[in-house]
């Protein structure tokens, strides 16, 4: 796990505590042909979490894993470490998620201000908390 993902996870754990898990089975996404992938975590039993700090093309690939995960609520946490235009990246991800999600899914994208190299928990925790509340996720 990179320092950027670790930063995102630490904020999540501060907000939801033991409700967050990165358990292998809970995070698995099964693909055709006997292959699988894993998202970054799950909150409770119905909120899938993906934390991304990479370039746009790589982030778009991670959206597939998030969209195909079985949870009905999906949260993409963007950390602006390697994105050229983070606000545009967020807009692009929102468009993709809203276009491709299942009708029963709720999706949300949050763009943090800090990174693993430059943490800003006082700014980022309220952003993440608002996103979780919008999705109806129970906080600590």
- Three-state SS across 104-130? CCEEEEEECCCCCCCCCHHHHHHHHHH
Fold type of domain 3-134: Trna Endonuclease; Chain: A, domain 1 (3.40.1350)
pLDDT of residue 15: 96
Helix (H) or strand (E) holding 78: strand 73-78
DSSP classification of residue 17 = G
pLDDT of residue 1: 54
**pLDDT (mean) for 112-138:** 96
Helix boundaries (H) for 17-138: 56-68, 86-100, 121-134
- Three-class SS state of 42: strand
Domain-by-domain residue ranges, the chain? Answer: 3-134
Give the pLDDT confidence of 81-112 residue by residue, as tens digits.
999 999 999 999 999 999 999 999 999 999 99
Does residue 73 register a pLDDT over 60? yes
* Pairing assessment for the beta strands 106-111 and 73-78 based on DSSP bridges: parallel
Give the pLDDT confidence of 30-40 residue by residue, as tens digits.
999 999 999 99
CA distance linking residue 117 with residue 62, whole number of Å: 22
The pTM of this model reads 0.96
């Amino acid at each position: 796990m990179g320092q950027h993902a670790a930063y995102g996870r630490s904020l999540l754990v501060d907000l939801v505590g033991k409700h967050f898990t990165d358990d292998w089975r809970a995070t698995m996404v099964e693909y055709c042909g006997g292959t699988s992938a894993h998202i970054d975590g799950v909150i409770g039993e119905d909120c899938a979490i993906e934390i991304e700090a990479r370039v746009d093309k790589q982030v778009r690939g991670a959206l597939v894993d998030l969209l195909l995960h079985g949870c009905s609520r999906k949260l993409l946490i963007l950390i602006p470490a390697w994105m050229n235009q983070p606000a545009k990246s967020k807009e692009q991800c929102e468009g993709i998620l809203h276009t491709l999600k299942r009708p029963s899914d709720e999706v949300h994208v949050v763009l943090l201000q800090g990174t693993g190299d430059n943490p800003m928990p006082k700014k980022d925790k309220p952003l993440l908390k608002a996103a979780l509340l919008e999705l109806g996720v129970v906080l600590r």
